[in-house]
Amino acid sequence: MKKGLPIFLVCLILFFWTIVSCSKSYSFEKSAGTLKDSSGNCMQYVVMGTYSKGNTLSANTNYILVPVRVTKLGYYSIYSDFQNGFKFADSGIFTSLGLQQVRLKPVGIPLKDTLTSFICSYSNTNCSFSINVSNNTNISTVNTDTVALNTWKFTDSSTGGFHHGIFADGNAFYGPDLNGYVLTMVGWMDFRSPSDTILVAQIFMPHSTIDTGYYVTEGSNAFLFALNTGLINQQARYFSANGGTHDTLTFHIISFNQQTNNVIGTFSGKATTDKLTSAYISNGYFNAHVK
């Protein structure tokens, strides 16, 4: 028995060594991939939750959905820089190649009510996103009883101008796009003719459903507005938050009713005029029926 014990231990060690050496364990390797699409552009992310100065953030409601193209399996760490008292991060193991979605969780508490920009990093790639931190939790809450269906409005805080109107054909449109799905809203002033388009808003989403949350014009999302006559894509843009500038305008989809197909949301932020000056958009909202 005494002679057999060492042999047993040696066999046991050899058995486990064989299992470990013959098994591929991705958890001990570093993954590889990119935050950008095949054209080198940052892919669409989604900011979820409401962010207010001094309010504690919850991982269940305050998070960032980040698409990642994974080219090598293994351990990952995706994180943002630390800005305005908080940041976002997540780590884990990629077990599948191709396009994956990662939920970045919050760390810290917002210190100031201001538009806050972050740099997100993974595998030698960097992309930016912004969050509008408010002074109270109800900044994007709309009393739906006072919002007329198929209408929009906003205020240009730079000039004090108030603009409002209706959507073309009384509808918004939602459908597939090359990079996902897009909600398109086209409208004009109440007193303009239907052929005189002056407002276009496009909100891209990663899913076939219309998801609530925040969408920023630093990605594919766009907000265009023109006060001049004619089709907007044939005239100088008055506001152009996505026209080659780094200005950020944030859409907040508050609700989408799957029975009525009505979507309600708000928008605010900084845009650029045709004279290359800043235009600050506030108190924007929309209530549209989606085709």
| Separation CA 74–CA 78 (nearest Å) | 13
Alpha-carbon distance of 23 to 6, in angstroms, equals 26
For residue 194, what pLDDT band results from cuts at 50, 70 and 90? low
211 Cβ neighbours under 8 A, 6+ residues apart: 46, 205, 253, 256
Spatial distance between the Cα atoms of 135 and 138, rounded to a whole number of angstroms = 9
At position 72, the amino acid (one-letter code) is: K
The encoded tokens of residue 253 equal 């989809």
32 closest CA partner among 76, 89, 65: 76
133 and 113 Cβ atoms separated by less than 8 Å: yes
Would you say residue 141 has pLDDT above 50?
A: no
Identify the CA nearest to 181 among candidates 221, 130, 127: 221
Q: Please give the distance of CA 268 from its chain centroid, rounded to a whole number.
A: 15
pLDDT tens readout for residues 236-276: 456 665 555 556 788 888 889 888 999 998 888 888 877 77
* Separate counts of helices (H) and strands (E) for the chain: 1, 19
Q: Has residue 2 got a pLDDT over 90?
A: no
Mean pLDDT of all residues in the chain?
78
C-alpha Rg value of the chain to the nearest Å: 24
23 pLDDT more than 60: no
What is the mean predicted confidence (pLDDT) over 57-81?
A: 91
Other beta carbons within 10 angstroms of residue 244's beta carbon come to: 7
What is the CA angle 279-280-281, rounded to 5?
115
Q: Which of 35-39, 88-92, 196-200 has the highest mean pLDDT?
A: 88-92
**Residue type (1 letter), 19:** I
For residue 149, count CB atoms less than 10 angstroms from its CB and return exposed for 0-12, middle for 13-18, buried for 19 or more.
Answer: middle
pLDDT value of residue 71? 95
CATH superfamily of 32-132: Immunoglobulins (2.60.40.10)
| Termini Cα distance of the chain | 81
Does residue 139 have a pLDDT over 50?
A: no
Contact indicator for 181, 175 with CB cutoff of 8 Å: yes
Confidence of residue 41 (pLDDT cuts 50, 70, 90): confident
Q: Which residues of 132-148 are buried (b: 16+ CB within 10 A; e: fewer)?
A: bbbeeeebbebeeeebe
Fill in the DSSP letter of residue 42. B
Instruction: Please tell me which residue, 141 or 216, carries the higher pLDDT value.
Output: 216
- Type of residue found at 245: T
DSSP 3-state assignment of 28? Answer: helix
Pure H helices in the chain: 4-22
CA atoms of 180 and 186, how far apart (whole Å): 19
pLDDT above 70: residue 146: no
Backbone phi, psi, residue 171, to 5°: -140, 160
In the chain, domain spans:
32-132, 144-289
Q: How far apart are CA 7 and CA 5, in angstroms?
A: 5
